Amino acid sequence: MTITTRLQPRYRLWMLLYTILCLVFGAWGAYDYWVKYPALEASARDYTRLKNRQDELTTASQGRALTEDETKEYEAAKARLTTEFAEPPTPPSGFDKPFQLWGYVIGCGLVGFPWCAWLLIGAARKRWTLHEDGSLDTPEGTIAAERIADIDMSKWMSKSIATVIDEEGRRYPLDDYKWKNTDLIVVELCRRFHPGEWTDKARPVNEDRDGDDSTSGLTKEAPTRELSE
């Protein structure tokens, strides 16, 4: 029976979510950096200019009568300060703009978004196929049955990764977290290279024997791991 892997739905979902989040944060950072913060800075400058001019005219009126133009200017400044500035505007700090630029625009938008999209597309294009003749198609090419030397199961229970080793020592990691049906390929290769050591569910035989203890009543679940691993 030929066995072919495909992308795990959970991996696709998480990578799609990360891709969308990076795009959203990148767009948010760009808006803040090029639209929101410049507007805040302009508003703060305008408020400071009006407030300073109002204070100057107030001080001048204490020593002399204001001219007609000065009075109009004072009233206009007072009206704008009352209607446009309910509270003094706070300009962005010296930390805000660099953080938006490097953390969101560059970190999420220019780096994170294409990186997550590339991981998702790249993983979706990769396939592993175990043929009936024992040959294995990998993302790096096909390994003939007689060239497969072993399968390393040391990380299978902890990280769901089994590594196929060819006769030249090259290693090809099979990741069950990313590709569905990986366990089926692993079972077939274990039957070939480690007969009697692994069950038909890719679990250690000794573990299943321990789990058969009728006094325990416990079943063991398959290992899980985070995307970052």
- Output b/e per residue, 134-162; b: 16+ Cβ within 10 A: eebbbeeeebeeeebebbebeebbebbbb
- Residue 94 lies inside a defined structural domain of this protein: yes
- 115 & 19 share domain: yes
- 100 & 141 share domain: no
Any idea which of 56-65, 107-116, 126-135, 205-214 has the lowest mean pLDDT?
205-214
- 120 & 21 share domain: yes
Exposed, middle or buried by CB within 10 Å (0-12, 13-18, 19+), for 185?
Answer: buried
- Residue 1 lies inside a defined structural domain of this protein: no
Is the pLDDT at 134 greater than 70? The verdict is: yes
- Residue 222 lies inside a defined structural domain of this protein: no
- 89 & 162 share domain: no
- 96 & 162 share domain: no
Tell me the whole-structure pTM to 2 decimals: 0.73
Confidence of residue 8 (pLDDT cuts 50, 70, 90): very high
Measure the CA–CA gap between 105 and 102, rounded to whole angstroms.
Answer: 6
Whether residue 26 contacts residue 109, with contact meaning beta carbons closer than 8 Å, is answered with yes
- Residue 224 lies inside a defined structural domain of this protein: no
- 143 & 182 share domain: yes
In the chain, the number of structural domains is 2
Tell me how many degrees the CA angle 53-54-56 measures, rounded to the nearest 5.
Answer: 65
The whole domain housing 162 covers 129-210
| Domain endpoint, select from 94, 110, 125 | 125
pLDDT in tens, 66-101: 899 999 999 999 898 888 888 888 889 989 999 999
